[in-house]
Structure 1
Amino acid sequence: MSIKEAFSGNIIKDTVQIDMQNLKLKGDVIDIGVKNYGIIYKICRQNDDEVAVEYLMDEEKDLIEREYYHTAVLFFTLSPLSSAGKRRKLIKELYKYIRDCGEIIIWDINKTIGRLVDLRVEVLLSENETQTIKINNFNPIKQLSLSQVKKIINPYFEVTEEKQGKEIFFLRAKRKNTRRGKKKDESSIDCIEC
């Protein structure tokens, strides 16, 4: 008997919608993901033809510049990770690549221990374009929630916006400046609309 069969009564099987029509991403964007759905790239292209969007997988992290990006996006990236420790490590590492005044944006699933997730996510990109993706998590011992993610990011980011639905959540947070005593040069242009 498979895990999916054993927990068949505990499967969250649903369709959820994410409306990204009015989503604004600032400056240079890094898309951190387990899968590249192309959604973040499409959103950035709709907003600004000049913006740089990079998709990064773990083995490529040595190729990028520290404190370079204005925005980091994690689109269903944390839930596949096997532990809270790995999630903390990812956020701590990601912090190094975000500029002062930069932000992190996260969408992910609400998952409790013992529940399996089989979601169909419809992402509304514009009036005329919708993209559908599947989000599955059939590991009964994994869990993730908005409150857990807020605790993980708290040392590095300050939450500026959050939304929670039944099956998924959204979080936007601004990078904290942990370099004590260092004054920002007001004549430099390090960030967009700090």
Structure 2
Amino acid sequence: MGKTLVINLENIIFQGDILDVGEKNLGIIYNISKEAKDEISLDYVSSDSKVELKDRKYDACTFFFELNKIWTSLEKERLIREISSYIKESGEIFIWDINKERGKIFNNKIKVILQNEKVKEFTFKNLNILLNSNIEEIKKILEKYFEIEETKAWEDVFFIRGKKLKTKAEVEENINYEGINYSD
């Protein structure tokens, strides 16, 4: 096993309904959301639950060490595009993941610092030498659907936070609304 990587989530605060993307939940997002003062709804997306999501809109979406498991950039973009349709206008996306080059493996302990001095530890492995994961690839995909508001990279881990961009239809609706003459 490699090194211990520390992720400090003490100051992460979610507002409203949260969509947590992932097959295997580590309980991290749940622990952050249950500390919120307002009532929050936390839903998990997996291949089985997609049908239930079609009529929902979320204030935030989280990916916690999930995108690195997807084989191609096209598949990552397809997932992010689909997820963006479930996020409200001005909703946010939060991504924590690994920087891993093709031909390398990732086998490290992750120590997550949560609110109220709670700590969760787990070992995260991506032993597939054919998979590639990096912050630049994810930023390039996200910029099509989100305005990147924050990025951080340390050791072999990165964080990206973005705000949903208005769709073309939403922009046109605002232009038509703003173009109305109210002086009549």
Common fold: TM-score over 0.5: yes
Q: Which runs of 5+ in 1 are unaligned?
A: 1-11, 187-194
CA contact (8 A) 1:164 1:170 kept: yes
Q: Does structure 1 residue 123 correspond to structure 2 residue 112? A: yes
Give the 5 Å matches for 1:156-171: 156-171=145-160
Amino acid at match of 2:29: I
- In the other structure, the counterpart of 2:73 is 84
Q: Does structure 1 residue 39 correspond to structure 2 residue 55? A: no
What RMSD over aligned residues (CA atoms) do the two structures have, in Å?
Answer: 1.8
* Partner secondary structure for residue 48 of structure 1: coil
Inter-partner Cα distance in structure 2 for 1:158 and 1:18: 23
- 1:113 CA drift (Å): 1.3
Count of residue pairs the alignment pairs up: 174
- In the other structure, the counterpart of 1:109 is 98
- In the other structure, the counterpart of 2:132 is 143
- 1:49 CA drift (Å): 5.1
Q: Does structure 1 residue 174 correspond to structure 2 residue 163? A: yes
Return the TM-score normalized by structure 2: 0.89
- 1:138 CA drift (Å): 0.8
CA contact (8 A) 2:66 2:97 kept: yes
- In the other structure, the counterpart of 1:54 is 43
Alpha carbons of 1:67 and 1:175: their partners in 2 closer, same or farther (altered >3 Å)? Answer: farther
- 1:66 CA drift (Å): 4.5
Inter-partner Cα distance in structure 2 for 1:18 and 1:66: 33
Amino acid at match of 2:61: A
CA contact (8 A) 1:66 1:98 kept: no
* Partner secondary structure for residue 114 of structure 1: coil
* Partner secondary structure for residue 174 of structure 2: coil
CA contact (8 A) 1:158 1:175 kept: yes
Q: Which runs of 5+ in 2 are unaligned?
A: 178-184
Return the TM-score normalized by structure 1: 0.84
Inter-partner Cα distance in structure 1 for 2:43 and 2:154: 28
Inter-partner Cα distance in structure 2 for 1:174 and 1:133: 29
Inter-partner Cα distance in structure 2 for 1:126 and 1:100: 28
Amino acid at match of 2:73: A
